[in-house]
Amino acid sequence: MSNNDLTGRLILVVEESPNIRRVLERILTEFGAKEVVMADDGLEAITEVEKYGNRINVIVCDLDLPRMDGTEFIRWLRASRHPQIPVLAFTGRADREQMHGAVTAGIEGMLVIPVKPAILVQHVQSAMRGRRIEPDRLKSA
């Protein structure tokens, strides 16, 4: 896989805004993603995880969602039959408490948007490498 290549990857995007979903889908497919599956919130994301299971290479998940927020969804995922699916969480606000909640739930990456497409893809690739962020790392940040 080259530096910014997502060739053949199945990516689940969890985001309530149709406009942001379209932008993320375009970026991810332009960088080679085979399929980008969309969910409006954590409850829809559960349905997609149950449908696609371990075929999902990475989940790109907003933390600010209706009905079931991103952190609740991540907690569900880590307790599910698919806890190994990596998660790149993102938010439009740099809220330390929200970020800490996501890290504690178990994520492989965190991003405050907006960012350039290549930066997004680099973070997606990093999340797919599968190293969870340790909550202790936030204390020094």
pTM of the shown model: 0.92
The answer as to whether 135 is a domain residue is yes
The answer as to whether 5 is a domain residue is no
Q: Residue 6: its pLDDT value, please?
A: 94
The answer as to whether 134 is a domain residue is yes
The answer as to whether 101 is a domain residue is yes
The answer as to whether 60 is a domain residue is yes
Q: Residue 1: its pLDDT value, please?
A: 41
The answer as to whether 3 is a domain residue is no
d(CA 102, CA 88): 10
Q: Residue 99: its pLDDT value, please?
A: 87
CA 12 to each of CA 63, 135, 139: distance values in angstroms, whole numbers, following the listed order: 14, 24, 30
Q: Residue 137: its pLDDT value, please?
A: 62
Closest CA to 71 of 100, 92, 108: 100
Residue 106 gets the label, from left (phi > 0), alpha (psi -120 to 50) or beta, of left
User: Digits of tens for pLDDT over the chain (141 positions)?
Assistant: 445 689 999 999 999 999 999 999 999 999 999 999 999 999 999 999 999 999 999 999 999 999 999 999 999 999 999 999 999 999 988 788 888 899 999 999 999 888 899 999 999 999 999 788 887 765 544
Say how many domains are in the chain.
1
The answer as to whether 69 is a domain residue is yes
Contact 32, 6 (CB under 8 A): yes
In which domain, by residue range, is 39 found? 10-140
Check which CATH number belongs to the domain holding 132 and give it.
Answer: 3.40.50.2300
